[in-house]
Amino acid sequence: MPIPITLALTATQHHTLKDYLFCGDNKESVAFLLCGMRNGDRRKRLCVREVFTLPDEAYIERTDVKVKWSPDYIDDILEKAADEKLSVIKIHGHPNGYPDFSSTDDQSDRELLPLIKKWVDANDVIHGSAVMLPDGQIFGRTLNENQDFLPIECVSVAGDDLHFWYSDAGNIDTPDFMASHAQIFDEGTIERLQRLSIAIIGASGTGSPTIEQLKRLGVGEIIVVDDDHMEERNVNRILNSSMADAELLKLKTQVQEEAAELHGLNTKIIPISNNLWEKETIEAVAQCDLVFGCMDTVDGRFILNAISTYYNIPYFDIGVRLDASQREGEEGQIREVCGTINYIQPGLSSLMSRSLFTMQDVAVAGLRRNDKTAHERQIKDGYISGVEASRPAVISVNMFASSLAVNEFLARLHPFREEPNSTFAAVTFSLSSMEFFYDEDEGKCEILSSKVGLGDTSPLLGLMELAERL
């Protein structure tokens, strides 16, 4: 059975396409997408890197049901694709709303796609065509060696709202255990939940309740990443764990996998008991539709920002802070209980540009991870600040933050708020002052914005630490 192919766009790319393909004259137009790829074992994810539109002089004929254009105007596009081994997707609009490829489209694609493949001349690179409808929905297909059209299984847009369009939408039944929340969400949302593949990085205080909620919402596949094993001090905040698990030193991922099997709610758990900085871990996460970051290490959060950008994946970052006084006589006095859910869209701001941490902080965390002796020596010599102490954790606060993050995800999958989702790029809560604060997304990340849709690179994510070892 062939590996499913998906196509992922940013909101900016989607807006550019819609404005061009539906400019108001009710005639068909053509554009081209150059894509990087995650050449995965579960999915082959085409990640849109650039959108190219044709100039007016390129068109020979344009009507509401037909478009003809001169191929001379795509030479530069194909040269770029050949030089960088990129996928090429031709996309045009159907202003009349016809929700399928026409016989004219069939003939055109059978002529054009083999020519593109020959020009780019790379065996593993996938090319195809797509159609956008007036409401913004996109569907697509590729052409295999036997000249058979294969559907692109899912087209997604990572924006203020989350869009997922499936080639065989409507073919999944709603399980009985989802009936109660099916009363709130429409059939399309229920189906999308069952089809989604979500990576959760960290299976402890915020990670385990996030897994639990998504599982009971009916999410189809959850990749759980955590390289740690259970200890007694973890049991106070890891759902589905026990003291027996701690005594057996079970992996945290194993605890969540066993719980999912016991509960029988149809969610497939893929446990990855490796560090996030392992090449195989990144390659697995980069095939997913969404990522939840449930970790507090600076270097881990940086790499999730990078994965989001390189592979056009929306990223929900969960951060919790509990401060208790350490001064003599004030032990146990709580100063602050707060947390923030940051929603990261590829190509826009990042945790770095939002000033949560700097690249120097990332470098220090990397030194601590890779060379503890050198890290301690630099602390002693005064070059860097000290090691973070073990942070306090309270399950009720962790679950509150996790619930807020999952509701943030649902609000974008099925918009229900009075204000647009663009208002809530970051949502902060304080249980000390009983307040909520929220901020819009502003600006772009100077470090990552140029990396949108790069897909698989060598070295992976452009990081020498992830270069192939000889």
Q: Is 386's pLDDT higher than 50?
A: no
Token pair belonging to 464: 């020498």
State pLDDT tens for residues 105-136.
999 999 999 999 999 988 889 999 999 999 99
For the segment 400-408, the average pLDDT, to the nearest whole number, is: 97
**What pLDDT is attached to residue 389?**
46
Cis bond before residue 459 (omega within 30° of 0): yes
Q: Which residue has the higher pLDDT, 174 or 274?
A: 274
State pLDDT tens for residues 185-243.
888 999 999 999 999 999 999 999 999 999 999 999 999 999 999 999 999 999 999 99
**What pLDDT is attached to residue 111?**
94
Cβ 211 vs Cβ 256: under 8 Å: yes
Token pair belonging to 203: 């299976």
**What pLDDT is attached to residue 391?**
61
pLDDT confidence tier of residue 146, bands split at 50, 70 and 90? confident
**Percentage of residues of the chain with pLDDT beyond 70:** 92
The hierarchical CATH code for the domain 5-158 is 3.40.140.10
Q: Mean pLDDT, the chain, as a whole number?
A: 91
Q: Is 378's pLDDT higher than 60?
A: no
**Spatial CA neighbour of 21 closest among 101, 96, 93:** 93
302: CB partners within 8 A, 6+ apart: 351, 352, 357, 359, 362
**Spatial CA neighbour of 237 closest among 127, 390, 124:** 390
Cβ 32 vs Cβ 52: under 8 Å: yes
State pLDDT tens for residues 271-325.
999 999 999 999 999 999 999 999 989 999 999 999 999 999 999 999 998 876 6
Q: Does domain 176-466 have CATH number 3.40.50.300?
A: no
For the segment 375-399, the average pLDDT, to the nearest whole number, is: 61
Whole-number Å distance between alpha carbons of 357 and 350:
10
Q: Is 367's pLDDT higher than 80?
A: no
**What pLDDT is attached to residue 331?**
58
Domain boundaries, the chain: 5-158, 176-466
Q: Is 330's pLDDT higher than 70?
A: no
State pLDDT tens for residues 82-110.
999 999 999 999 999 999 999 999 999 99
pLDDT confidence tier of residue 377, bands split at 50, 70 and 90? low
Dihedral angle of Cα 390, 396, 402, 408, to the nearest 10 degrees: -130
Task: Encode 6-17: b = buried (16+ Cβ within 10 Å), e = exposed.
Answer: bbbbbbbbbebb
Whole-number Å distance between alpha carbons of 291 and 130:
26
**What pLDDT is attached to residue 74?**
94
**What pLDDT is attached to residue 372?**
61
pLDDT confidence tier of residue 465, bands split at 50, 70 and 90? confident
Residue 66: phi, psi to the nearest 5? -155, 150
For the segment 252-262, the average pLDDT, to the nearest whole number, is: 96
